[in-house]
Structure 1
């Protein structure tokens, strides 16, 4: 799996690359600006995932994200930042980003988030997006999570849900785990019951 990381902070970029290579078994290409990332995408793309720092030179906010999406050939592009707020994250996701990665994430969470996005799923950190707000539970669920939750309420297995939506079974397992955490459910059965009781589907 080839990943492109673009960040003007060398230490941060190199630490992330080392982590993904050692713990995630990925091959990481590094760039220090948006311009360099665009050049690398044209030269060596497509990549399984492109990670762009929101504040690096040349980004110009979400314009840089859109430029990368145009070059990605349909592959996922995500934003990462240490200072961007919830509004930026939501705008990026609405613009087509595969996810938003806070630089405050733990090492393990970062590797899992990158793998998740590289599989074509959307990563939206629940704690970050729900900070300073009291949104409805339905608002906190991604479209894919609602699809999986629907399958759970119908008593379907992970394999059946995966087949219904043409995704990998391991992806369904990740969604079930996330759903249980978001809903405060102990297991998939309780998650399904809570979904029906709270009209989340």
Structure 2
């Protein structure tokens, strides 16, 4: 489905969000293109039917957001994400799939996905996910965070990481956490990166949800 797509400016005069869609089921692909194409603030710039084509079209069009299926021929979604992120660590990619195991979610996130959505999600949830990821946010449905937390490895948090997590749950900023623990803000950020890795999450909000699920904090 390598054909040109185009759209004029959005209703408010701004440039629409440029989106690459990849799915090996042509009916699903065409449906997504139709749904997204009807949005005044979005424009589908290319459609791919396999992972290799998705990477090639991403390189060609450099879309604002890429929406990729997890299971595709020639190159699966995770491998496609890894190839794209090797070219641009800032690439904003969403996985849209029917697979929701903690292993699938974890692999996609570690590869660089900014969002993970199931194909049976409501249309508005899909569109909201695209808009959030476009603005630099992450998007992972609460039920997926719960599933991911349930299948986490048992890598323990250090005492200091637990201290940071506890203060994070109280709503403190990085600077405030550093002041409370008498450590630098840079050190706080280092602890947060480690916490996010161990909890397999992308953001503070997801870290709180995963930590609560594991009984590490009380929200």
Q: TM-score range by the shorter chain?
A: 0.5 to 0.7
Structure number, greater radius of gyration: 2
Q: Secondary structure at the residue paired with 1:23? A: coil
Aligned position for 1:32: 49
Equivalent residues of 2:92, 2:134 under 8 A apart: yes
Q: Supply the distance in 1 between the matched residues of 2:83 and 2:38 (Cα, whole angstroms).
A: 30
- Give me the TM-score of the superposition, normalised by structure 2: 0.58
**1:83–1:27 CA distance, 2 compared to 1 (3 A):** same
1:88 matched to 2:104: yes
Counterpart among 101, 108, 116 of residue 124 in structure 2: 108
Q: Supply the distance in 1 between the matched residues of 2:91 and 2:78 (Cα, whole angstroms).
A: 17
**1:131–1:24 CA distance, 2 compared to 1 (3 A):** farther
**1:74–1:88 CA distance, 2 compared to 1 (3 A):** same
Aligned position for 2:78: 62
Quote how far apart the aligned CAs of 1:70 are: 2.2
The CA deviation string for residues 52-85 of structure 1, in whole angstroms up to 9 with x for no partner, is 1110112246222201222346221222211242
Counterpart among 108, 127, 133 of residue 143 in structure 2: 127
Q: Supply the distance in 2 between the matched residues of 1:120 and 1:61 (Cα, whole angstroms).
A: 20
Q: Supply the distance in 1 between the matched residues of 2:18 and 2:129 (Cα, whole angstroms).
A: 15
Q: Supply the distance in 1 between the matched residues of 2:142 and 2:34 (Cα, whole angstroms).
A: 26
Equivalent residues of 1:77, 1:97 under 8 A apart: yes
1:50 matched to 2:66: yes
- Give me the TM-score of the superposition, normalised by structure 1: 0.63
Structure ranking higher in helix proportion: 1
Q: Secondary structure at the residue paired with 1:130? A: helix
Q: Supply the distance in 2 between the matched residues of 1:117 and 1:69 (Cα, whole angstroms).
A: 15
Count of aligned positions? 153
For the aligned residues, what is the CA RMSD? 3.5
Aligned position for 2:21: 5
Extract unaligned runs of 5+ from structure 2.
Answer: 1-16, 152-164, 177-202, 210-216
